[in-house]
Chains A and B, each alone.
Chain A
Amino acid sequence: MPVVRKHSERMKKFKNKGKDVAALRRQRVEVNVELRKAKKDEQILKRRSISFSLMEERLSPGEDKRNEMVQLSLEEIVEAVNGSNTELQLRATQATRRMLSRQKDPPINQIIELGIIPRLVEFLTRADNAPLQFEAAWALTNIASGTSDHTRAVVEGGAIPAFISLLSSPHMYISEQSVWALGNIAGDGPLYRDALINCNVIPPLLALVSPVTPIGFLRNITWTLSNLCRNKNPYPPLGAVKKMLPVLICLMEHEDKDIISDSCWAISYLTDGSNDRIQIVVETGILPRLVELMASPELIIMTPALRAIGNVVTGTDEQTQAAIDAGVLAVLPHLLQHPKPTIQKEAAWMLSNIAAGPCQQIQQLITCGLLPPLVQLLDKGDFKAQKEAVWAVANFTTGGTVEQVVELVQSGVLKPLLNLLLAKDSKTILVILDTISNLFLAAEKLGETERLCLLVEELDGLEKIEALQTHENNMVYRAALNIIEKYFSGEENPDLQPGTGQDGLYDFSVEKHDFNF
């Protein structure tokens, strides 16, 4: 195996035949997720300000008056909340909730500093005063929606048991608001997620799911469930996962796309882990449905389904085989050509992991016609997707049989692959050079080295490899030099003589129609 790989950070995240499977199993690159999150936050901010300006314009005189009516000073709020007049308590809680739910700069910190959270939590228990319960629940929801410190203030105020018991409130709007609040707490991280699970949040939450649950409510429940599945280090407790899975699988059959989307995201979190976690999901038999959803025209459904299956194929060969059996290879060609670059990239990532499997699975890739879209993506895809495609080719040449590698070359992979040597990304260049070495290894076995040399030269590959000898990256330079010395030094190398016995059997440049790649 080529030396380069050992230095590749990314390689540790790949599963690879013949290597320590656990160490090479490829996980999601954490940075990507964080970037996504940051972008999302930015977007929310952006949207808020937009909505805000719309609001300002649309405030009619009547609405102004209504706002004025509940306009209380912070001192008045503290006094009323701590007082015993329930009418004033309600008005003050409502005023608090209003401030916290305005679009711009909700005064979360100031409200926390008033020290009224314990009182608000207490209001949650006032079963005789549903409006007060609701206003308090909403206010606490919005406090918990802030930073981790904000969420902690709510949790430390004792809100978890109060909200969990409100899940069974006779008033649907109160139990819905509680679901929302619990979602925010669970979304904070593994600590509070598990705190909720330990407080037995799951049974009453699941009990809310029924065929008559209104869609809006069901969306909130699904999102909260997905947060209970979210985050690693540690993973959510196995028992909890096993309780939630059957309901999530039901929700994936719902007709509402937001519900489907969030339940798919939940599955994608559950599969983003060790193989035993993947195994639990695979055993539910949900893979065919996920594959079906991967082909959905709705981006918000396709994306998490693709992610979930992508995670599954990072697992064991058997788990990968389960995804193949669920029909993933039939959907992939379309996704590799999807207009959205992110989808192309995810699909290529999935393909690279299947290509890292045993040669039987590689054979299925070929049989299902994945090579033409792969070559096309390599040629014309988005750059990030191209990088994934390069990995797919690399894994293919590492694990594939000689015959399979020949087929890969015949499908025209060389030209776009060599073109990508012009990329600015040295990691990608290294993987390509590695792949070229693998190809030459296969050619040597067939005694077709000279032919491959010729082919690389014809496709202006030699020129590019030679140019890389002056590359600033030392490893790139060495890898390029290695190839040049070994195959293009001009001196007759007795090792490379053709006719090692199987000449003519395999032909790299083969059929005329394939010749002008």
Chain B
Amino acid sequence: RFGTYVKVLMLLLYYLQRVLLLVASDVDALCACKILQALFQCDHVQYTLVPVSGWQELETAFLEHKDQFKYFVLINCGANVDLLEILQPEEDTFFFVCDSHRPINVVNVYNDTQIKLLVKQDDDLNVPAYDDIFRDDEDEEEDSENETDESEPSEKRRRFEEEVIERTMRRRQRREWEARRREILFDYEQYEYHGTSSAMVMFDLAWLMSKDLNDMLWWAIVGLTDQWIQDKITQMKYVTDIGILQRHVSRHNHRNEDEENSLSIDCMRIAFEYDLRLALYQHWSLYESLCNTSYTSASLKLWSVQGQKKLQEFLADMGLPLKQVKQKFNSMDMSLKENLREMIEESANKFGMKDLRVQTFSIHFGFKNKFSASDIVYATASLMENIEKEGPETTNFIKALDSLSRGNLDKLHQGLDLAKKQLRAIQQTVASCICTNLVISQGPFLYCSLMEGTPDVKLFSKPVSLCLLSKYLLKSFVSSTKNKRCKLLPLVMAAPMDVDQGTVIMVGIPPETESSDKKNFFGRAFEKAADSTNSRTLHNHFDMSIMELKTEDRSKFLDALISLLS
């Protein structure tokens, strides 16, 4: 299946000159976009790039451009709704959809003419069989009856066996089929989850076309790492995909291994690493990173006095002087850094942190600059959701996109600074939520609402930041609570969105369990709860589990959500 799409896309690249790129606002989408842009560039394909942050923008962008373009490439948007239904395109308009959102809308799956899905063959889509959800004989009965409407009744009529039985049977079968269809679709659509990173899909495409470059590979790595950091995929999937990318990494980077000292300034090298799971630590101090990394902070319960004490013990166990730990990582004693990873891992094990090291990749630009894939993800995401207004909406998007280019180290560093601010803000908010018991059990789910006036609340009106906060908060809450039932609950989080319009942004995330399949049922539940209460909601985000809601409608909406999920 993938093979044919490659051909289709190659056609697109070589023969169809004008393409409109619609790209969602997430790091994986940006990375996929970078890869595609590079492909377009080397083949001189003309394209126009339009960032879209939600369905409304997608629709507007389509309407604005549909007269000039016949070919649309959608990145990380469009797969999970009936595109033909919402966009009503002309018949000669085609969509190439590269989107990790699952489940894919069944119409998109089975429409092979206007919608071309870019999906990896080994992605398990579990799409219902065509015959289970579509029927071709819908109007048959009525059609044949209409034609006899004008003619005289027959003079003689035979009574058929089925006259009595068949008709009711047919109706019953029809009803059964429809009920089954509803059931199948319900099962298929009830959980949202994510498939293979779009950047990886795009890279695969480049590779199959023998046009893959080391830069593209790096973007694919960043895309995958984004999925991991945003907690969109299972650990299993992450490890598998890392394995796939590792093979590409060694293929692209083996030449440099013998001549390690001959790296020039603009040479780049990607390396697989078994690195520490500490956010931004190479660009921060080890101490700051330990404090602001969700994993360590939640494990050590750093919001409490005891937790702080534990951190001291942990550092002491490693034998790292506080002064060294608190200064910039770059300036730490080389001797301390030598076996740092092993040392930290050893102590972490004693403190119950068994997963402090993870498989990842890093990139070297010349001698000086080394970044881990997660550094890039944090930096890019922060640039994209930068709340300090610097011109039109698309500025952040363009800046974030640019920061992914090798030559834009200044933007990357700006992103890293913003990311540190973001992580601190998240950590402080988590601590205050836990300490003031803001996370409450509503029965079927946990609920936390940020009040207007909370520090950094503006940051959390942005979806990616709010999601990160929710995940960190849930992780911390699970480690802090003694209530076993609560440990298994999902979390709904709300934050003020637009004070003037009186709206909140709400996100629902799945439970924080070790074996979590990362499937999220809040999308459907939100829709239903909104419908049943006539709440004024806006389901604009490409993730259905993120939505906007009128503040006044919040309580009736929550009541409905509770009774729906109870």
Please report A residues at the B interface, Cβ cutoff 8 Å: 33, 36-37, 39-41, 43-44, 46-47, 50-51, 54-55, 58, 98, 100-103, 106, 138, 141-142, 144-146, 151, 177, 180, 183-184, 187-188, 223, 226-227, 230, 261-262, 265, 298-300, 303-304, 340, 342-343
Contacts and interface: CB of A to CB of B under 8 A. Distances in A.
Interface stretch (B58-66, B85-93, B150-158): B150-158
Contacts, number: 88
B111 to A, nearest CB: 26
Given A47-B144, A50-B144, A101 B151 contact: no
Nearest to A342: B150
B162 A40 contact: no
B156 A303 contact: no
B390 interface: no
Interface string B148-174: 111111111111111100100110010
Query: How big is the B interface, by class?
Result: 20 to 34
Nearest to A187: B155
B173 A58 contact: yes
26 contacts: A36-B151, A36-B152, A37-B152, A39-B151, A43-B144, A46-B144, A51-B162, A55-B166, A58-B173, A98-B161, A100-B158, A101-B160, A103-B162, A142-B159, A151-B156, A177-B159, A183-B156, A184-B155, A184-B156, A187-B154, A188-B155, A223-B153, A262-B153, A299-B146, A300-B149, A340-B150
A145 B151 contact: no
A142 B162 contact: no
Contact of B149 (A37, A227, A303): A303
Question: Main secondary structure on chain B at its contact with chain A?
Answer: helix
Contacts of B155: 37, 184, 187-188, 227, 230
A145 B157 contact: yes
B168 to A, nearest CB: 12
Nearest to A230: B155
A106 B158 contact: yes
A102 B144 contact: no
Given A43-B147, A50-B144, A98-B161, A145 B156 contact: yes
Given A58-B169, A146-B156, 18 more contacts: A36-B152, A37-B152, A41-B154, A43-B147, A47-B144, A51-B160, A54-B170, A101-B161, A103-B160, A138-B159, A142-B159, A145-B159, A183-B156, A187-B155, A187-B156, A265-B153, A299-B150, A300-B149
A187 to B, nearest CB: 3
Contact of A40 (B154, B166, B173): B154
Contacts of A103: 160-162
Interface in B103-141: 140
Interface of B: 140, 144, 146-163, 166, 169-170, 173
B159 A180 contact: yes
B150 A265 contact: no
Contacts of B159: 101, 138, 141-142, 145, 177, 180
A236 B147 CA distance: 30
Nearest to A304: B152
B148 to A, nearest CB: 6
A47 B149 CA distance: 14
A142 B151 contact: no
B156 A40 contact: no
A184 to B, nearest CB: 4
A130 B170 CA distance: 28
> 3 shortest A-B CB distances, which residue pairs?
A187-B155, A299-B149, A145-B158
A295 B170 CA distance: 33
A45 to B, nearest CB: 12
Nearest to A40: B151
B152 A265 contact: yes
Contacts of B148: 40, 43
Contacts of B170: 54
Nearest to B149: A299
Contacts of B161: 98, 101-103
Contacts of A342: 150
A221 to B, nearest CB: 13
Contacts of B147: 43
Nearest to A137: B159
Contact of A101 (B152, B154, B158): B158
Nearest to A226: B153
Most buried by B among A40, A47, A141, A223: A40
B162 A144 contact: no
Contacts of A98: 161
Nearest to B161: A101
A398 B173 CA distance: 62
Contacts of B154: 40-41, 44, 187
A50 B140 CA distance: 10
Contacts of A177: 159
A144 B156 contact: yes
A56 to B, nearest CB: 12
Contacts of B156: 144-146, 151, 183-184, 187-188
Contacts of A144: 156
Contact of A55 (B151, B162, B163): B162
A184 B150 CA distance: 21
Most buried by A among B144, B156, B160: B156
A55 B156 CA distance: 23
A262 to B, nearest CB: 6
Nearest to B173: A58
A342 B159 CA distance: 30
B136 to A, nearest CB: 13
Nearest to A108: B158
A82 to B, nearest CB: 25
A138 B150 CA distance: 28
Nearest to A98: B161
Contacts of A343: 150
B171 to A, nearest CB: 13
B150 A141 contact: no
A231 B278 CA distance: 96
Most buried by A among B147, B152, B160, B163: B152
A15 to B, nearest CB: 24
A26 B118 CA distance: 71
